[in-house]
Amino acid sequence: MEARINLFESPTAAKIAKRFYNVASVLEQSPLPKSLWELVELRIGQLNGCGFCVDIHTKEAAAAGETALRLNLVAAWRHTTVFTEAERAALALAEEGTRLGDRGVSDETWAAVREHFDDDQVGTLVCLVSLVNAATRMNVIVHNPGGSYEPGMFAGLAS
């Protein structure tokens, strides 16, 4: 598979991609553990069929210390015993926030998120789910292929 277009070669798209990265760097400063938001990003990439995003977030989660077992079970998290209740709440929010057209975010999921996370963490999760969904959609539209990502390779985009 080859990408339809390199968004970094489009002046406008490159500026937007840089701003996306800068917004993501703010999320990295949040009180959420890196491994949690990588799991959330991985699940969103899976749901949106984004090989590029699945590649990135699998490798970044592994680099953050996530185990192969948990990474392999993210797609079936509801039917496993390896995720905490807080992680399960965050993954449910990721799924429902990605599939907004189905029914939106349920009151049950929202209550579970509020039970496990403070206001800053909840705000971070909402922004993370929204931002990653936008990024996965861009990558799927242009057919960015997965497989060649190396952890940290976008660090030069900041500023």
pLDDT of residue 34: 87
Overall average pLDDT of the 144-153 stretch: 86
Q: Is pLDDT at 4 greater than 90 in this prediction?
A: yes
pLDDT of residue 136: 93
Confidence of residue 158 (pLDDT cuts 50, 70, 90): low
| Amino acid at position 131, single letter | L
Give the least confident one: 61-70, 111-120, 145-154.
Answer: 145-154
* Domain 21-152: assigned CATH number: 1.20.1290.10
pLDDT in tens, 47-68: 999 999 999 999 999 998 999 9
CA 135 to the chain's CA centroid = 9
